[in-house]
Amino acid sequence: MAASEGQWVLMATGRSPTNIAVIKYWGKRDEALILPVNDSISVTLDPDHLSATTTVAVSPSFPSDRMWLNGKEISLSGGRFQSCLREIRKRGCEFEDEKKGIKIKKEDWENLHVHIASYNNFPTAAGLASSAAGFACLVFTLGKLMNVKEDYGELSSIARQGSGSACRSLYGGFVKWCMGKKDDGSDSLAVQLADETHWNDLVIIIAVVSSKQKETSSTSGMRDSVETSPLLRYRAQTVVPSRVLKMEEAIKNRDFDSFAKLTCADSNQFHAVCLDTSPPIFYMNDTSHRMISLVEKWNHSQGTPQVAYTFDAGPNAVLIAPNRKTAALLLQKLLYYFPPQDKDLSRCGRPSCTSRDEDTGSEIQGRR
Amino acid sequence: MAASEGQWVLMATGRSPTNIAVIKYWGKRDEALILPVNDSISVTLDPDHLSATTTVAVSPSFPSDRMWLNGKEISLSGGRFQSCLREIRKRGCEFEDEKKGIKIKKEDWENLHVHIASYNNFPTAAGLASSAAGFACLVFTLGKLMNVKEDYGELSSIARQGSGSACRSLYGGFVKWCMGKKDDGSDSLAVQLADETHWNDLVIIIAVVSSKQKETSSTSGMRDSVETSPLLRYRAQTVVPSRVLKMEEAIKNRDFDSFAKLTCADSNQFHAVCLDTSPPIFYMNDTSHRMISLVEKWNHSQGTPQVAYTFDAGPNAVLIAPNRKTAALLLQKLLYYFPPQDKDLSRCGRPSCTSRDEDTGSEIQGRR
């Protein structure tokens, strides 16, 4: 370490979008390593809309690791944060900034403490994958700070240990989280199926039914499902594998019909498994049901899917339209049937996926 | 036929209770014969509370078959009514009343027309098995009128062709509908597992969340599930068979713990299959969910099930308490969390099952 030890602070800032699963992840086969019972596929949102922004700082003057989420200090003692910090520190590389008098050797990272400040520009723990964006951003930004050379696949496997679905936020476009087979989880990582330019007509509208924090966390919910739902295993072993293949085809061919049918069916099946859990888990409410009915009736009346819906671990609808024209029609219908005084129907964005490197102003296109 | 042809009217009146499935019937393997994809088990309610009362009349002066439901004439042209009428007529036996000058030969029943008047003392088509009570009563009363000698098992197989779950309303107590294997459906009938005296501490409370007619009829709902739900087949072939065995054990041993756990799990799984259907079917609403949460939290806090819940094809909760004391506690909780000005929480009855023969005033105990 340089002579100026204690004087300097090194910082990095990154931004990661959230992602929306179209083939759902629900159920772990390994709780500690966060290894799933099935593959999943997601679309990464445009970071301009729903994203986490994280700044990490390191300095010899920091006596301990600390973190602030949306301005409020939170504990880093949990195993998930510790896993991410440990795995990134292990992979840190030598860094030197002669002008500032900073010189960090590979082994120094183990002893340097970090301060982390992260912000979500959308509700936390309301079933909008805030932890996915958050952990992806944490790992990405720490990796940048610590000069980590690993590729996005390897980083995704680290982010996975923070929050399973975080691994899918490392890439833009359409992303598959391969469940992997190995006991150590090293092959349980994300791969990009198609980048954000592949199908950029798609428009995603998030209808925020409630921004309250959910009653059942995803973590405890999926643990209960694995332990008590007779249908979960069948879904994971028999239904999902064939759906994943069909979904990959649909994405490759930009086949909105198949994409929409698979997306809706898989959302409903995930919530079916939640209901088959003891005690049952209800993430959707009457408003969610009414939104589904609206879309189903519309799709039925047209004879072909106009819009797809998917719900994560919360009542908020994620609606996917094939183009801006249909999205405008959808918005009209939503505003008519769910007037804004009742509901906060607002966020709308293209599922683009640039990852802005805010430190330098450069954008890493097509990689995340 | 007697000389007084055209002068006489012969009548019979019967009453049949509704039944509540604790292992659910959902899905047919034969639509016309109403053959199910799995066995089911139900408890028959006390006919003093939720029942259908039917009067059937026959007279040579009636030019056609006609029926009135709750005072309003309905069509008998549907295949289900026709099946029941045809099967009962086939089995009619000679009848003579010398005093009134009535003599009906076996073959006459084919040519005599009936008038049927049926009343439900509870909401129709609101997921409270009105068709079960109705068709059971129709078949039972027609059978009585036409001097049919067949046993309840055989009658149940006829009632099944009116409405599947009707076959279970022919008996009191706990009843199993054996799915059967034969193509002609002759072995798809109800058997009594235990009569109404076996476990008469049980108290059943029906919390009427909504008495509106359901949006999706059971018939079309289960057809959609069979056609589109990947989970239905697994449930029918793998989950239900073992649950049926466990439920039979629980009933035999009056083991409320196991009974309650199986009842709740199977209700939730049935609704999970509905949700896994395309388009998804929602029978429960937010109030139903809140009732489940109330029971689940209570059961969890006591470490052992206090009360079981089950929901049929509607939002109304059927709550089963092991005894009157617990039922009183449950009612207190319901009235506190769901004040009566909001909801019509009312009907409460012991799951007793006498079938009153109103024509003669005699009661057929222990058979239905």
The single residue listed with the structure tokens 């840190």 is A92
pLDDT digits (tens, 9 = 90+) for A23-39: 999 999 999 999 999 99
Q: Does B346 have pLDDT greater than 80?
A: no
| Nearest CB partner across the interface for A231, out of B234, B261, B264 | B234
pLDDT digits (tens, 9 = 90+) for A126-139: 566 678 999 999 99
Residue in A with minimal Cα distance to B297: A279
Distance in angstroms between the alpha carbons of the first and the last residue of chain B: 33
pLDDT digits (tens, 9 = 90+) for A315-342: 999 999 999 999 999 999 999 999 876 4
Which of A349, A340, A288 lies closest to A313, judged by CA? Answer: A288
The whole-number pLDDT of residue A344 equals 46
Which of A111, A118, A120, A122 lies closest to A139, judged by CA? Answer: A118
Contact B275 A272 (CB under 8 A): yes
Contact B275 A268 (CB under 8 A): yes
φ, ψ at A249 (rounded to 5°): -60, -50
What's the rounded Cα separation, in Å, for the pair B294 and B299?
9
For testing contact with chain B, the best of A231, A257, A293 (most B CBs within 10 A): A231
DSSP 8-state secondary structure symbol assigned to residue A295: H
The whole-number pLDDT of residue B148 equals 97
The whole-number pLDDT of residue A362 equals 26
Contacts of B214 in chain A (CB under 8 A): none
Looking at per-residue pLDDT, the higher value among B205 and A351 belongs to B205
Domain boundary assignment for chain A? 10-194, 203-349
Interface of B with A (CB under 8 A): 228, 230-231, 234-235, 238-239, 261, 264-265, 268-269, 271-273, 275-280, 282, 285-286, 289, 292-293, 296, 300
Distance in angstroms between the alpha carbons of the first and the last residue of chain A: 33
Q: Does B224 have pLDDT greater than 90?
A: yes
The whole-number pLDDT of residue B124 equals 64
Residue A191 burial (CB < 10 Å; 0-12/13-18/19+)? Answer: middle
Tell me the two tokens of residue A162. 């923070």
Q: Does B112 have pLDDT greater than 60?
A: yes
The predicted model gives A198-203 an average pLDDT of 96
The whole-number pLDDT of residue A150 equals 94
DSSP 8-state secondary structure symbol assigned to residue A239: I
Average confidence score pLDDT of chain B: 89
pLDDT digits (tens, 9 = 90+) for B255-285: 999 999 999 999 999 999 999 999 999 999 9
- C-alpha distances in Å from residue A62, one per residue of A3, A59, A101, A119, A253: 16, 6, 18, 21, 51
The whole-number pLDDT of residue A350 equals 40
The whole-number pLDDT of residue B216 equals 81
Residue B159 burial (CB < 10 Å; 0-12/13-18/19+)? Answer: buried
Letter string b/e over residues A31-59, b meaning 16 or more CB atoms within 10 A of that residue's CB: eebbbbbbbbbbbbbbbebbbbbbbbbbb
Strand partners, A183: none
Average confidence score pLDDT of chain A: 89
Contacts of B300 in chain A (CB under 8 A): 279
- C-alpha distances in Å from residue A133, one per residue of A75, A125, A167, A176, A245: 18, 11, 9, 16, 26
The whole-number pLDDT of residue A353 equals 32
φ, ψ at B125 (rounded to 5°): 60, 30
The predicted model gives B38-52 an average pLDDT of 93
Architecture per CATH, domain A203-349, reads as 2-Layer Sandwich (3.30)
The single residue listed with the structure tokens 């008047």 is B117
Contact B289 A289 (CB under 8 A): no
Looking at per-residue pLDDT, the higher value among B179 and A342 belongs to B179
Strands A113-120 and A66-69: parallel
The predicted model gives B119-134 an average pLDDT of 77
Tell me the two tokens of residue A296. 């189903």
Q: Does B49 have pLDDT greater than 70?
A: yes
The whole-number pLDDT of residue A131 equals 87
| Assigned CATH for B10-195 | 3.30.230.10
Q: What percent of chain A has pLDDT over 90?
A: 80
The whole-number pLDDT of residue A170 equals 95
The single residue listed with the structure tokens 């909105």 is A256
Nearest Cα of chain A lies from the Cα of B333 at a distance, in angstroms, of 19
Tell me the two tokens of residue B95. 């009848």
SS3 labels along chain B: CCCCCCCCCEEEEEEEECEEEEECCCCEEECCCCEECCCEEEEECCCCCCEEEEEEEEECCCCCCEEEECCEEECCCCHHHHHHHHHHHHHCCCEEECCCCEEECHHHHHCCEEEEEEEECCCCCCCCCHHHHHHHHHHHHHHHHCCCCCCHHHHHHHHCCCCHHHHHHHCCCEEEECCCCCCCCCCCCEEEEECCCCCCCCEEEEEECCCCCCCCCHHHHHHHHHHHCHHHHHHHHHHHHHHHHHHHHHHHCCCHHHHHHHHHHHHHHHHHHHHCCCCCCCCCCHHHHHHHHHHHHHHHHHCCCCCEEEECCCCCEEEEECCHHHHHHHHHHHHHHCCCCCCEEEEEECCCCCEEECCCCEEECCCC
| Nearest CB partner across the interface for B276, out of A228, A272, A293 | A272
The whole-number pLDDT of residue A127 equals 61
The predicted model gives B50-69 an average pLDDT of 95
Looking at per-residue pLDDT, the higher value among B64 and A127 belongs to B64
The whole-number pLDDT of residue B7 equals 81
Q: Does A122 have pLDDT greater than 90?
A: no
The predicted model gives B291-302 an average pLDDT of 97
The whole-number pLDDT of residue B126 equals 57
Contact B269 A230 (CB under 8 A): yes
The whole-number pLDDT of residue B344 equals 47
Interface of A with B (CB under 8 A): 228, 230-231, 234-235, 238-239, 261, 264-265, 268-269, 271-273, 275-280, 282, 285-286, 289, 292-293, 296, 300
The whole-number pLDDT of residue B5 equals 54
The whole-number pLDDT of residue B234 equals 98
The whole-number pLDDT of residue A7 equals 81
Q: Does B238 have pLDDT greater than 90?
A: yes
The whole-number pLDDT of residue A216 equals 81
Q: What's the maximum distance between 2 C-alpha atoms anywhere in chain B?
A: 73
Architecture per CATH, domain A10-194, reads as 2-Layer Sandwich (3.30)
Residue A76 pLDDT class (50, 70, 90 cuts): very high
Let me know: does A367 contact A353? Beta carbons within 8 Å. no
Single-letter amino acid, residue A27 = G
The predicted model gives B220-236 an average pLDDT of 97
Beta-carbon contacts of A83 under 8 Å, excluding residues fewer than 6 positions away, are A158, A161, A162
Angle at the Cα of A151 from the Cα atoms of A146 and A154, rounded to 5 degrees: 90
Contacts of A286 in chain B (CB under 8 A): 285-286
Let me know: does B111 contact B1? Beta carbons within 8 Å. no
The whole-number pLDDT of residue B208 equals 85
The whole-number pLDDT of residue B123 equals 67
Contacts of A228 in chain B (CB under 8 A): 265
The whole-number pLDDT of residue B341 equals 62
Residue A357 burial (CB < 10 Å; 0-12/13-18/19+)? Answer: middle
What's the rounded Cα separation, in Å, for the pair B260 and B48?
24
Let me know: does B173 contact B195? Beta carbons within 8 Å. yes
The predicted model gives A212-229 an average pLDDT of 89
Residue A361 pLDDT class (50, 70, 90 cuts): very low
Q: 3-class DSSP state for residue A201?
A: coil
User: A152-160 and A79-91 helices cross at what angle (nearest 10)?
Assistant: 150
For chain A, state the CA radius of gyration. 21
Q: Does B127 have pLDDT greater than 90?
A: no
The whole-number pLDDT of residue A194 equals 98
Residue A125 pLDDT class (50, 70, 90 cuts): low
Most confident of A76-80, A248-252, B207-211: A248-252
The predicted model gives A185-192 an average pLDDT of 96
The whole-number pLDDT of residue A126 equals 57
The whole-number pLDDT of residue B366 equals 27
Residue A367 pLDDT class (50, 70, 90 cuts): very low
The predicted model gives B247-262 an average pLDDT of 98
